[in-house]
Amino acid sequence: MAELLLLPFLAGVVLTGIHAYFGLHVVARGIIFVDLSLAQVAALGIAIAILAGHAVDSAAAYWYALTFAMSAALLFAVARRHAQVIGQEVVIGIVYAVCAALGVIVLDRAPQGAEHIKQILIGSILTVGTEQLRHLAMLYAAIGVVHWLLRRPLIEASFHPQRAAARGARVLLWDMVFYGSFALVVTSSVRIAGVLLVFSYLIVPAAIACMLAATIRARLLLAWLLGVVMTAVGLAASWAWDLPTGPALVAAFGAATALTCVLAVLRRTSMRQFGSAVAVVPAMGGMLIMGMPQMDQPWLDAIEAAAPQAQELFMPPADVATRRDAAEAIAHAEKELVELRARDQDVRWGAVQMPEEKQERLRQYIAARAEIVAGDQLVLRELRRQTRLRQRWRLGAPLFLLGVAACLLLNRRSIFARARRRR
């Protein structure tokens, strides 16, 4: 595991180093989707290169993408100067939508267009090579040095644009430097990480850092730490659950954002408000069971899967016996199917020799066992449907009343106070 994921992890660290810094500028400028837009413009350049007969990872495709991205960067820099006429975010959104549509049109004409679209979206960070990573690190280090030398005017243009304009600073020039270097970073990152993961590296660590820290230095250090940790978590989840690497990393960044928001809300929530929110959950669950008993209830399904007795409480003895027999049959058949499918794979790959007649009989038996399992699962679904109808009033009504009573009890003082004011 460590050998396979080392280079992707280092690539994530390199991406974090440059994107977290640019993310702080992007958040300060309020142009959250500029990265998606620039990445989509670069993707359009790659799509045109593919249509012209170049490989996705070729030098020609890179220069196509960079040319398109630099053109969009110049447009965004000029658009900021005319924000009163048309908002910069409007221009960014239009560019993104148009380039996304054009990319689909172009790749529709290219061989294996759907695969290329998938690769551009989710990237191939798992297959990054040592030489590719070295070039990327050197490029980002050079851009970092340039931004360090020009940090004062660039920070002022992003974080204090009105002050910069008031003292006559050449804001347009620094915007062009910022967007030009940003386009170079995005174009280089999209080739290995894809549009979605590049956006996550740019926005998520910076946004979380802005929520938790006040100074630019503290935000940058925190964003770097978060990016590295989320890279490790996403790669570990991808390995443990056999998930696509790019989407797993994006999901890890999303989970970090959700957790941070929940914790931020909890910090500002009183115990009474928290208790009321908790009490709403059973009330809503009971209302859904009463109003729509045939609707999927994943939370109730999870409880019944962990403790089957919770469902059997609402079943007559005959249904309980049927449910247990079907569940045992499914468990036994699925265990057998795992062994049979493994044997079938060994035969297909030549690890085990078997006559053609026996191979066909094995496949037919697997299909028959799978049909039996599907029939038993249909029995369980029908029993669950009937149980939900019984639970409509016997479970839904008590849950609803319990939640409402808890809410009223927790908020009794405010309710009485409002009643007194009305009198």
DSSP structure string for 190-223: HHHHHHHHHHHHHHHHHHHHHHH--SHHHHHHHH
- Is residue 350 predicted with pLDDT exceeding 90? no
pLDDT band at 3 (very low <50, low <70, confident <90, very high): low
pLDDT band at 241 (very low <50, low <70, confident <90, very high): confident
CA pair distance 276, 389, nearest whole angstrom: 28
CB 361 within 8 Å of CB 252: no
Nearest to 396 by CA among 273, 286, 259: 286
Percent of the chain with pLDDT over 90: 7
34 compared with 206, residue with greater pLDDT: 206
Rounded (10°) angle between helices 151-159 and 2-29:
60
Query: Per mean pLDDT, which range of 5-14, 41-50, 54-63, 255-264 is the poorest?
Result: 54-63
CA pair distance 306, 377, nearest whole angstrom: 17
Tell me, what's the pLDDT at 417? 62
Cα dihedral 297, 303, 309, 313 sign: negative
pLDDT band at 267 (very low <50, low <70, confident <90, very high): confident
Alpha carbon 77 to its chain's center: 29
SS3 content of the chain, % helix, strand, coil (to 5): 85, 0, 15
Instruction: Write the pLDDT tens digit of every residue in 157-182.
Output: 878 777 766 665 577 787 888 888 88
Instruction: Write the pLDDT tens digit of every residue in 323-333.
Output: 889 989 988 88
- Is residue 55 predicted with pLDDT exceeding 70? yes
pLDDT band at 138 (very low <50, low <70, confident <90, very high): very high
- Is residue 203 predicted with pLDDT exceeding 60? yes
Q: Which residue has the tokens 């990445």?
A: 39
CA pair distance 42, 291, nearest whole angstrom: 50
pTM higher than 0.95 for the full model?
Answer: no
Q: Averaged over 209-231, what is the pLDDT?
A: 90
Percent of the chain with pLDDT over 70: 91
Tell me, what's the pLDDT at 29? 82
Q: How many CA atoms lie within 13 A of 290 on its CB side?
A: 15
Tell me, what's the pLDDT at 222? 92
Q: Averaged over 68-96, what is the pLDDT?
A: 80
- Is residue 2 predicted with pLDDT exceeding 90? no
Tell me, what's the pLDDT at 247? 84
Q: Averaged over 360-379, what is the pLDDT?
A: 88
pLDDT band at 83 (very low <50, low <70, confident <90, very high): low
For residue 285, give the DSSP letter: H
Q: Averaged over 373-383, what is the pLDDT?
A: 89
pLDDT band at 104 (very low <50, low <70, confident <90, very high): confident
Domain ranges of the chain: 2-267, 271-314+395-423, 327-390
Instruction: State the fold for domain 2-267.
Output: ABC transporter involved in vitamin B12 uptake, BtuC (1.10.3470)
- Is residue 56 predicted with pLDDT exceeding 80? no
Instruction: Write the pLDDT tens digit of every residue in 272-319.
Output: 777 777 788 888 888 888 888 878 888 888 888 888 888 888 888 888
- Is residue 225 predicted with pLDDT exceeding 90? yes
Q: Is 268 helix (H, G, I), strand (E, B) or coil?
A: coil
- Is residue 113 predicted with pLDDT exceeding 60? no
